[in-house]
Amino acid sequence: MTRERPFRIVLAAGLLSAAIAVGCSSQPSPGTNAPAGPATAAAQEKGGQEETGPYELVPDWPKPLADATDGVKHDGWTWGSVGAVYAETPDRIWIAQRGELPLPAGAKAWVPYALLQPSRGNATGNGDGLNATCGAEEKRGWERRYHHVIMVMNSNGEMVQWWNDLDKIFEGKCGRGPHKIKMSPYDPEKHVWIIDDQLHMIYKFTYDGKLVQSWGTKGERGRDGGRLFDRPTDIAWLPDGTFFISDGYGGTRVAKFDKDGKFIKQWGSTGSENGQFNGVKSLAIDAQDNVYVADIGNKRIQVFDADGNFKSQFANVGTPMTMCMTKGATQYLYISHAGDPDGMVDAAIYKVQLNGTVVGKFGSAGRLPKQFGLANSIDCRNENELLIGEMANWRIQKVTLRAAR
């Protein structure tokens, strides 16, 4: 197998806050399903060597927000926990943010929580006194606000759109805001899809922000076709509009729907055999309609056909938290390795061929610029331009990769 040349990396760090606990402790809800096709005695393991390359920081992306006409002031506030980032085009970058966070007295305006000294603790986006699964935890004594939840930035990091009338849709008992925002590359109407894992909802909006369809029952977790979900995490489409939902932290399944949103089937159960999952964190689909599933708790990527039949797996990319599939004649996966449960040890971004061979790896764990902590979202409009949203570092970093000269 021919290996790629090493690549050079240019990194543009943003100042968006994000924090979450990886694989939040959650028991799957009861449900029935069959495993994905006949399980083989031994999974087909794939993988290869890795290469590394240097990268540099370009600061000040995105730009601080100005006070809006709603009268809400930003003095003493900063970016909140980032659920996801999605680049519709290089000049229209959608951001799903879990509200805004209050700064301690004397802190510099818009400083990311990752860089506060002393640290103010983990601002996960959960309500004060609640953890990610709605259980009680020690109160912080301060609270976020639902403001600038869904935004669009231009290539310079300046806000050009804000769905301010939807800020409150993510509120609810134990809600914390959006987990994923995406658009189908095959949809001429450019619908915007938003997943709220903690309230167990999938929303489909028009391009200008009108809700047209939803799946799930708000605040109720379970596993029942398209009626109940258990902390869903991601979505991916086939060219004909068929889509898949990874469900998720608690549901341990992949659910398949037709183009009109009618539930077709599901596969997966809790375990470590082929076709089983321990946390279904992210999805990607290649040009041959193969479905790649980030099985975070089992530290592997599983590959299925579009009917859920197991094909192969690779387990050489650490703890896979999110994935992005590039387009073009030769496709790659970019995969975030979450590191340890706090996301602060051995975190990295992998570039992987579809046979599982790692051809690139960059980054290290930490909270300083150029380091990573729980990268929950990767957008790869092409293989040389990435946007990386970090949950435990409360920010977005913009990455450009170049082949070494």
Distance between CA 132 and CA 26 in Å, rounded? 9
pLDDT tens-digit readout, 247-286: 999 889 999 999 999 999 999 999 999 999 999 999 999 9
- Say if residue 7's pLDDT is above 80: no
- pLDDT for residue 368: 81
The DSSP secondary structure of 224-257, one letter per residue, reads BTTTBBSSEEEEEE-TTS-EEEEEBSSS-EEEEE
- Say if residue 81's pLDDT is above 90: no
| Structure token pair of residue 78 | 């900063």
- Say if residue 34's pLDDT is above 60: no
Please state which of the ranges 47-56, 361-370, 387-396 shows the lowest mean pLDDT: 47-56
- pLDDT for residue 231: 94
Nearest to 298 by CA among 282, 284, 311, 280: 280
Q: What is the mean pLDDT of residues 289-304?
A: 97
128-161: b (≥16 Cβ within 10 Å) or e: eebbbbbeeeeebeeebebbbbbbbbbeebebee
Distance between CA 111 and CA 173 in Å, rounded? 29
Q: How far is CA 34 from CA 97, 231, 269, 275, in A?
A: 36, 20, 8, 9
Q: Which residue has the tokens 């399903």?
A: 33
Q: In this structure, are residues 81 and 176 in contact, taking their beta carbons and an 8 Å threshold? A: yes
Distance between CA 376 and CA 83 in Å, rounded? 7
Strands 280-285 and 263-267: unpaired
- Say if residue 16's pLDDT is above 70: no
- Say if residue 141's pLDDT is above 90: no
- pLDDT for residue 397: 86
Q: How confident is the model at residue 18 (pLDDT cuts 50, 70, 90)?
A: very low
- pLDDT for residue 15: 32
**Range with top average pLDDT, 41-50, 86-95, 114-123, 368-377:** 86-95
- Find the farthest-apart pair of alpha carbons in the chain and give their distance in angstroms, rounded: 63
- pLDDT for residue 26: 35
- Say if residue 317's pLDDT is above 90: yes
- pLDDT for residue 193: 98
Region of 329 (left: φ > 0; alpha: ψ -120 to 50; beta: rest) is: alpha
- Say if residue 44's pLDDT is above 90: no
pLDDT tens-digit readout, 325-377: 999 899 999 999 987 655 456 788 999 999 999 998 888 888 887 788 888 89
Distance between CA 319 and CA 150 in Å, rounded? 28
Q: In which element (H, E) is residue 401 found?
A: strand 395-403
Q: What is the mean pLDDT of residues 237-255?
A: 96
Structural domains of the chain, with CATH = 7-403 (2.120.10.30)
Angle, alpha carbons 324-213-124 (nearest 5°): 50
- pLDDT for residue 307: 98
Report the 10 Å Cβ neighbour count for 207: 12
| Structure token pair of residue 108 | 């510099």
376-392: b (≥16 Cβ within 10 Å) or e: bbbbbbebebbbbbbbb
Distance between CA 218 and CA 216 in Å, rounded? 6
- pLDDT for residue 168: 83
The DSSP secondary structure of 258-296, one letter per residue, reads -TT--EEEEE--BSSSTT-BS-EEEEEE-TT--EEEEEG
Order of strands across the sheet that contains 332-337 = 320-325, 332-337, 348-353, 358-362
Average pLDDT, the chain: 82
- Which position has the higher pLDDT, 109 or 195? 195
Region of 59 (left: φ > 0; alpha: ψ -120 to 50; beta: rest) is: beta
- pLDDT for residue 39: 35
